[in-house]
Amino acid sequence: MAVRIRLTRVGATKQPSYRVVVSDSRNARDGRPIETIGHYDPRTDPVEVSIDADKAKKWLSQGAQPSDTVARLLRQAGVLPAAK
């Protein structure tokens, strides 16, 4: 099973906010997640990002691959090392 850490969209029409979830890569974007590890709200100023670092590190150590956007958010949160 290929596990990904990615965003799932929640919120009303034209008012998106996202959950950072761990899910099977074969599931739909808004399908059933294995675990929710945080949330991301791009509409606030400053942008609100809340990620449980311990859960994220646990899933990364077990081989979960973050999406590009989630990798950027994890770097901002200090979970992943900065890109060179």
Average pLDDT per block of 10 residues along the chain, 84 residues long:
91 94 89 92 92 93 94 90 71
pTM beyond 0.95: no
Residue 42 exposure: Cα atoms within 13 Å on the Cβ side = 13
How many domains does the chain divide into?
A: 1
Sheet holding 65-66, edge to edge: 48-51, 35-41, 17-24, 3-10, 65-66
Note the pLDDT of residue 28: 87
Range of the domain at 51: 3-77
The pLDDT assigned to 83 comes to 67
CA 38/CA 59 separation, integer angstroms: 13
Q: Would residue 84 count as lying in a domain?
A: no
The per-residue pLDDT for 51 is 93
Q: Is residue 45 part of a domain?
A: yes
* pLDDT for 81: 82
- Asked, for residue 54, whether it belongs to a domain, the answer is yes
What is the CATH number for 9? 3.30.1320.10
Range 26-30 contact pairs with CB under 8 angstroms and sequence separation of 24 or more: 26/2
